[in-house]
Structure 1
């Protein structure tokens, strides 16, 4: 783990800055998705332009700041194909949640990714998980119940299920990336994901494509550009700082989601969201902190440490 080696403070701050930039870009992507929908774009069109317009951005990054086009070569092709399939499915649920829910609520449910990553890590990777992390998982789900208030009718349960399903797929991708990252560079994975996604999206797009005005097409293209830049910023952040340092920055997305929701759609989070969101955030931060603590002492198993 990178956390066990000394890291230059200036590089850590640069990594944090890159992560904050990535959060801003991807929060802007969510806002653009909702704007595109209000202008008549459907989910298939949104996903097609998001992925298609990101490919040239990633290629340009490889040429300018990366190792060049040699990074296109993968030593885990099968893994990349599976990651693309899982990632594209997760993206469909993620964008679906953005379309079905207010931005702040969709963002809050996305904070459950560390919770599902812990569960899947224990079930799939057989990672030792003690009562500290299971307690954080339970607290996180309590936060979800506070936000969604099942049975009250104030929160679209269908949208909540879509958002939580998205988090499950994102957690699955995180587990896959641990394996792929051992043989392929992050920018290689970003390229393969964007490129492989275009195969099914190109086949599907003609059945859902509609005529739009110039502004709507500009919004759709901007989604791809902003999304591609956001992915690159996420990748760059991990070059300069460990996960434990940059991941807490992800929670700043709630600020941007609230701001965009208020300015663009005249919507503010419900009172229960303000109560439940801190619970979910706290559980996620505790899981990250616990993983960081255990990684610094590999000689002590998680089961013993907990």
Structure 2
């Protein structure tokens, strides 16, 4: 669980760097360059471990998740150019709730009462935040586009949760990170001739930082999902809001509102519920 929490922190900081880059050169250029740099980092790590080319079934799984993750990231990066970082993260928290039930259908995991309570608490926290935004902001075209993009991203993210659980059982973290970034380079590269914008030096620094954090976060998630069930780790995603609030304030002077603070408190409670281990029944006095 500690590794999953570290992964969330890494990826939340990556989101802040990517928002800065996407505002400068557009979501597609930023996403493609991030993936290209990340591939250059992850590929040597994978090759250094002497890994062979994956077999057909594993390769199919790599491709499946990488395609989902590519469009999940692209829609998310577009959304954060239209919405405050913390609010975009909060709205995307519908994904872990969906993922819990996808885990039941696709992985056969038994959904515990504790996991359901944790996810519902986290989701309730996001509703408080969204309600606060709706009461304070006028929804223009850009906001509507941002909301649509973040909802699409959330649906793809939910499916990605399930795929990484399968993927982490058959491949190592470096291999997963390599295919994750490499496939994105190829897919997004199809649109690069038409939409590419040349970044300046500061934007390249942001993208390099984002790429390093992407690889670190992807590897940490792969390590964690290989050792714990999705229903245990999924609610920890809600801690990402805490990081997004901090980084949004540091990078973009995005202020927290009262509904945001209340929602965050509920989200923290959901993570606490998820982290609790059920007590083993006692059969007699200890000696």
Runs of at least 5 residues in structure 1 that lack an aligned partner in the other structure? 1-14, 298-306
Specify whether residues 115 and 99 from structure 1 end up closer, same or farther in structure 2 by C-alpha distance, changes over 3 A only: same
Aligned residues: 274
Show the counterpart of 2:12.
27
CA distance in 1, matches of 2:129, 2:113: 24
Specify whether residues 91 and 115 from structure 1 end up closer, same or farther in structure 2 by C-alpha distance, changes over 3 A only: same
Show the counterpart of 1:96.
78
Show the counterpart of 2:219.
232
> How big is the shift at 1:48?
0.3
Specify whether residues 27 and 206 from structure 1 end up closer, same or farther in structure 2 by C-alpha distance, changes over 3 A only: same
Runs of at least 5 residues in structure 2 that lack an aligned partner in the other structure? 282-287
Name which of 42, 45, 59 aligns with 2:26. Answer: 42
Name which of 144, 158, 173 aligns with 1:171. Answer: 158
Specify whether residues 218 and 134 from structure 1 end up closer, same or farther in structure 2 by C-alpha distance, changes over 3 A only: closer
Specify whether residues 178 and 19 from structure 1 end up closer, same or farther in structure 2 by C-alpha distance, changes over 3 A only: closer
- TM-score using structure 2 length: 0.78
Q: What SS is found at the alignment partner of 2:25?
A: coil
Specify whether residues 85 and 219 from structure 1 end up closer, same or farther in structure 2 by C-alpha distance, changes over 3 A only: same
Q: CA RMSD in A?
A: 3.5
CA distance in 1, matches of 2:5, 2:118: 25
Q: What SS is found at the alignment partner of 1:100?
A: coil
Specify whether residues 196 and 95 from structure 1 end up closer, same or farther in structure 2 by C-alpha distance, changes over 3 A only: same
Greater Cα offset, 85-94 or 98-107: 98-107
Q: Which runs of 4+ in 1 moved over 6 A?
A: 243-249
CA distance in 1, matches of 2:112, 2:239: 28
Name which of 73, 81, 85 aligns with 2:54. Answer: 73
Greater Cα offset, 182-191 or 79-88: 182-191
